[in-house]
Every structure is written in structure tokens, then in C-alpha cells.
A = this chain, B = another copy of it.
Amino acid sequence: MKQSQLFTKIQREAPKDEVSKNAQLLIRAGFVDKQTAGAYAFLPLGLRVLNKIITIIREEMNALGGQEILLTALQNTEVWKKSGRWNDDVVDVWFKSTLKNGKEVGLANTHEEALAELVKKHVNSYKDLPVYIYQFQTKFRNELRAKSGILRGREFIMKDLYSFSKTKEEFEEFYEKAKEAYKKIFHRLGIGEETYLTFASGGSFSKYSHEFQTICEAGEDIIYVDKEKKVAINKEVLNDEVLNDLKIKREDLKEEKAIEVGNIFNLGTKYSEALELQYKDEKGESHNVYMGSYGIGPARSMGTIVELMSDDRGIVWPESVAPFRVHLIEVKSQKSKVKSQAGEIYEYLVKAGVEVLYDDRNLNPGEKFAEADLIGIPYQLIISEKNLKDNKVEIKNRKTGEVEYLEYNLEKISQFFK
């Protein structure tokens, strides 16, 4: 894409009311825009990153045998009354509104109820199970405060997968696979090293749930990490019993702030009992379906990446989710050769399938470099009169700052970015 055609412009200052690093950087660099407190729009660069994150998660969900659907925000009130979660005293983040006929309606903050109701219509027999169903869908949560940028919004995209199994054992088998899929996802997103499988409070059906917590100063959670064993314990459940269960010594734990980037949960038969989601076994006898839920916030993941991967000049995207692979920067020159050569490289790379943002604007080099560093694309490919004189192009690694020179040869340049 040619940067001259990108409608977003770099903002010199972040809005004064943004206190989080992720929102400050993402707004300044033109990735997101605050629509109202806790609700962020994704602009062209930001939507590219978000979609890459979504694609990675989707691939891993499909590899698990997940089937993708798309539920609605507007909820069937009756179903939530049955499960006991319609009441604001039970769920305190409802956004509720009123239909023209006076009936109350609520916006989904999660989808266990809707999924259980849906599966009820399609699953009858043991032969129909297990099934794994997921979506990327917008959740609404009426949070009291919204000061964490895209880490915690009142409106946000969530990947939520629900598993429906015949038995606890069948559920557990999938739960372990999901755990591995989650680890893989966070590695692919570039935050695998800092992300810990964390024991958190369970429910009626299991002693613990599992969170994936990424160590980060901006985190709202406190976890205790055993770096050796690569596990952590959420502060809310840390006690001698847990330490004993996990065979972890208190002195091996380090307190850290962390962001909950994912969680997986044994729902047991809580919702299937409440909503009468049953299957018939070989003998025709009915049983409650055993459920699990598995969430990741793609936008929260994006915010976490920004919190972790930035320096004083701006964002440093990991290659897997960067909006473009290469930032092609032509350095303004009296001679027209720079523009024509940069244009030639751009066309070649695009044809070769390399994702390039081409800064073809008529700005001073200093301004261009500062903006490129803020945007944070992994490689800056710099075309200047000086380099062309030596028949060279300059490639700067945004993360390391390392500079290499390549011969001005379209094929070689293209190969470098493959």
C-alpha cells in the first residue's frame, strides 16, 4: 500500500485522557481510534494486525476440530433467566435496553447460554458428540472504568470456543489439547515466552481453571510465577493447598503483574442442567452434556503485544502480526531516480507477494524515519540517492536496529523478505 493513500496520519500527541501505553502508541501511530470510553475502532493498519491475530487463532481452532459460527449480541432474555444470570446482581456488566414493545433485552457479555440453546436443537444422540464450536464475536461489558486501552473495553472482539462432550473424561482429553493449542497461539503471536499457564479459581466442576497470563507491568492481575516449571498461580488462589497440589515451593515463586490473555474453563454440566441440554446414550438413557469454554481476546492480545514490544521510538511488531512485512522508505531527493527505483521495488515486491507499506510521501527523511519507527513494521527498506550511487539498498531491522546493505537487485531484495 502506498502511504500517500492511507487516510490515517501520525498524531504528534496521544489524547490527554489516554493513560495506557497501548492506546497512546496505537492511537498516535494510527492503528486505532477511541470512539467512546472503552470502545476502540480499528483503522486500516490496526485492522490488518487484528485480522492477522484472528487468522492465527482461527487456524489453531480449526486444527482442534472447531466449527466456526457467529452468534448475536442481542440475547434471548428467557434463556438467561433460566440459567440464573439475567439478574444484575449476578452479572454486573450487563448492557440492557428495551424493545419497542417494552420487553427488556440484553447484549451478550458471554455466550454459554446461547451456545447451549443452539446445540440443544442439533444434538440428540451420543453419536452427535463431541462437538467444538467457536466464533469471533463482539462482546459488550458495562465496565465501571475503561482506562486500559484495548486491553479491557466495554465492547471488544472475543474468540470463544465451547466444547460439548459426553463425559468428564472426554472433556478432559479435549481440554488438554486446547491447552496446547493456546500455548501455540501465544507463541505464534510472539508473546509465548512471557505467557504462563496459570492456575486460577475453578468452579463446581473442577478445583482450578486455567488462565494464560502474560507478564507485563500494565497487567491488572497479580500472579506468582515458577519460571523453572513454566507455571504460575493467580494470587486469588495462592495458598498451601495449591502449592501442595502443584508441588511448588513458595520460595521458587516470583510475584509479577500480568495480563490475562486467555482462559479455559471446565463448565461441567452447569449450563446443560439449567438449560436441559442432554444426549441419549447407546441404551437410550439421557445424560447432561459436559461443557467447557475457551476464550481469547484478539484485541487484548494486540494490546499486550504493544505493551511488551515497544521502545522509546514506538511499536516493534513481531513478524507474525505486523501490518506489513516491509516499510519501503524513499528518501527525498532532487534526482527523480530515487522515486522511480523505489516505485520499481514496490511493484516488484507486491507482485512477489511481499506485504509492503511504501512511504512515497514528500516529507523530510527525519520525519519519515521517526514515523516508520513509531509504526513499527519489522523491516525498513531505505532507498536513497547515496545508496543508489553505490548500487545498494539499505535494510534496517526495527527491533535490533541492525543495518544491512543489499545489492540493488530486485530478485535478491525480494528473496530477503520471503
Contacts and interface: CB of A to CB of B under 8 A. Distances in A.
Nearest to A101: B144
A99 B92 CA distance: 11
B97 A69 contact: no
B122 A75 contact: no
A64 interface: no
Interface stretch (A6-14, A172-180, A374-382): A6-14
B96 A69 contact: no
Q: Which residue among A36, A42, A43, A99 has the maximum number of chain B CB atoms within 10 Å of its CB?
A: A36
Interface string A95-108: 11101110001010
A101 B38 CA distance: 13
Contacts of A388: none
A11 to B, nearest CB: 7
Contacts of A107: 97, 107
B74 A36 contact: yes
Interface size classification for chain A:
35 or more
A142 B119 CA distance: 27
A143 interface: yes
A371 to B, nearest CB: 14
A36 B105 contact: yes
Given A7-B119, A41-B118, A118-B41, A138 B73 contact: yes
A310 interface: no
A71 interface: yes
Nearest to A108: B35
Interface in A44-80: 44, 47, 50, 65, 67-77
Nearest to A93: B100
Interface string A139-150: 010111000000
Contact of A35 (B7, B38, B72, B142): B72
A155 B33 contact: no
A7 B123 contact: yes
Interface of A: 5-9, 11, 30, 33, 35-36, 38-44, 47, 50, 65, 67-77, 95-97, 99-101, 105, 107, 114, 118-119, 121-124, 128, 131, 133, 138, 140, 142-144, 154-155
8 contacts: A5-B67, A11-B121, A33-B121, A35-B74, A36-B72, A38-B74, A39-B72, A44-B67
